Chains A and B, each alone.
Chain A
Amino acid sequence: MDIFLQLLLSGLLLGGVYGLLSLGLTLVFGVTRIVNFAHGEFVMLGMYLTYFLWQLGFDPYLAAPVVFFACFAVGVVTQHLLLRKTLTMPHLVQVFVTLGISVVMQAGAQLLFTSNFYFVRPSYGNAMVEIGNIRLPLTTIIAAVLALIGTALVHLFLKKTHTGAAIRATAQDPYAANVVGIEIKTVYAVTFGVGIGCAGLAGALLAPIYPVYPTVGLAYSLISFVVVVLGGLGSLPGALIGGLVVGLLETFSAYYISPEAKEATYFTIFIIVLLLRPAGLLGLRGSETMGANH
């Protein structure tokens, strides 16, 4: 029973971080219909930024908000320079441009930081929290709590602010949103900024747990693909639910089957979901017509 509880809690904590990780991907898709294949590389960027801020003496969790805003800026610039042009182009171009961005970012990281693994190790890095017989790493708990706060803030931003309402309107119908006077261009830029900001923030929260190296992004891209397809591409609550499901799957299959089985498990689930219900559990209306033709 203790082991079950331990796995359940670990899975949920990990899932919370995965939720934030995938929030950016699903938000960008919901509004712009672009699947960002460089999403994991922006997580990598967040991890490197955290590493260097930590080297300068910042606590990694205090650095997290800084990383969010830095990545927000990077996102706005990337969308303005590159992705803005692809909005009306075929999916192939959108996918390839984001793939190109991921290749450039990976190669750039390799040139600047070599292929060495970097570790963020705050003094409390190895601390464990004990609740009864359950032991959980402190860093994982902080990461999950901050990830949930970040997710909640993004939701509040979308529900309560004028810009947030404009983003939701554009996601529903860009043409109508434009007619009622919403600056679509600004909406796309802000959306991409927030999406990349979330990826960077997730990177900051992951940095004290996992090492960072130039090709780390692929794993995070794949995890966020699995999460958003499971939850429904474009659905914000779907990202959190998908994240929790993937977190649990990963922890339980790693324990009960084998550590290597975790990836195999979620890729299998991913392919099954895509085949049976491409719109995902909480799919955005319309995404299924793009997901598969009936």
Chain B
Amino acid sequence: MNTNTISTRIQPSLQAASLGRTVTLWVIIVGALYITASRLTDEHLVDLMFQIMLAASLAGAWNIVGGFGGQIALGHAAFFGIGAYTSTILFQHYHLTPWIGMLAGALFAALLATLIGAVTLRLRGPFFAMTTVAFTELVRIIVKNWDSLTGGTRGLWIPWEPNPWNFSFSDRNSYLLVAVTLAVLVFSTTAIMAKTKLGFLLNALREDADAARSVGVKATRARLISFAISAAFVALGGTLYAQYSLSIDPTSVLSFDISIQMALMSAVGGLGTVIGPALGAIAAVTSSSLLRGWFGGELGALHLLLYGVLFILVMLYARGGLLGMAINVKKRLTRRFGQGQSDV
């Protein structure tokens, strides 16, 4: 990360050229995603792609705090649940369309993240991690016990009455298009952030918080903004999940597993990189679906077992994740065959 930013500063012309290429590539990928999302007919594949897009959005949003900021946030399930419950409750009690409820949920999550961030971001490493876990458990307990509002452990059902204005569609492709839009939003934000001031500040804070502060980096502000953005995106994902699955309860949207999954996919794909979390999400969702197809539901834990092992191995031996490995392979090939520019 560090060497990257230094080299781009030394070679501004190269930066402009690579920026142009990146934007072109980005437009092609986004176009391809939208075309696939609208043309795909196989129900199973549509569902698979939806899961990938949602997972990628969540992992990408987590990555803003966990990857770029290097803060061990293990409580993002709280924001996911807040997004899901806010839009659903507003719809059921006030008949407010989930499109607006979604924004309300995101705003609520961002405000809460700012509040929690203001008091916890000064805590370091494991202490911050433990506090975020405790905070999520607190949210889960409140939701579980506020029966009149949240339906308690039974949760809430969303009636399926297709009406685009109410974020309810007769075909899965429409949900998929929303999921693609969310993913595009998350990853465009991360890409822009990585190349602008906020990204550089987070980078500096992650590498050496004390040194960054001593040269005038406003640590708390940079971290609060990133925390709020991250929480808002995860909350949007929460509403999308609720509208798609038509039912939510404390276990399905507020459990600790969800927080871990976001961190896991992001880390396996490549912490603090723009597209790493997307690779992690593709790997996680596809392998989970394949393993379930081969072994059936009762061996579902096998996927978790393999993923846990992979997680440990990546952390110990290849902290760049899948993306880091791919870049390494590319570098080695370039060096061996001496093609193209020497080192990008």
Contacts and interface: CB of A to CB of B under 8 A. Distances in A.
Nearest to B131: A274
A92 interface: yes
B125 A92 contact: yes
B123 A103 contact: no
B307 interface: yes
Contacts of A291: 123-124, 127
A153 interface: no
B312 A104 contact: yes
B308 A95 contact: no
Given A86-B316, A108-B305, A226-B134, A96 B263 contact: yes
Q: Which size bracket describes the interface of B in this complex?
A: 35 or more
Contact of A103 (B120, B145, B311, B319): B311
A104 B142 CA distance: 29
Contacts, number: 133
A21 interface: no
Contacts of B260: 99, 103
Contact of B123 (A100, A104, A225, A292): A292
B137 A267 contact: yes
A94 B66 CA distance: 14
A86 B134 CA distance: 25
B26 interface: no
B135 A103 contact: no
Interface of B is mostly: helix
B267 interface: yes
Given A91-B124, A97-B315, A100-B311, A263 B141 contact: yes
Contact of B141 (A37, A91, A225, A267): A267
B70 A107 contact: no
Nearest to A229: B130
A35 interface: yes
Given A82-B312, A293-B210, A260 B138 contact: no
Contacts of A86: 315-316
A218 to B, nearest CB: 6
A35 to B, nearest CB: 4
B20 interface: no
A92 B119 CA distance: 20
A62 interface: no
A90 B209 CA distance: 13
Contacts of A222: 133-134, 137
Given A100-B309, A111-B305, 7 more contacts: A82-B316, A95-B72, A99-B263, A103-B307, A111-B301, A274-B131, A293-B122
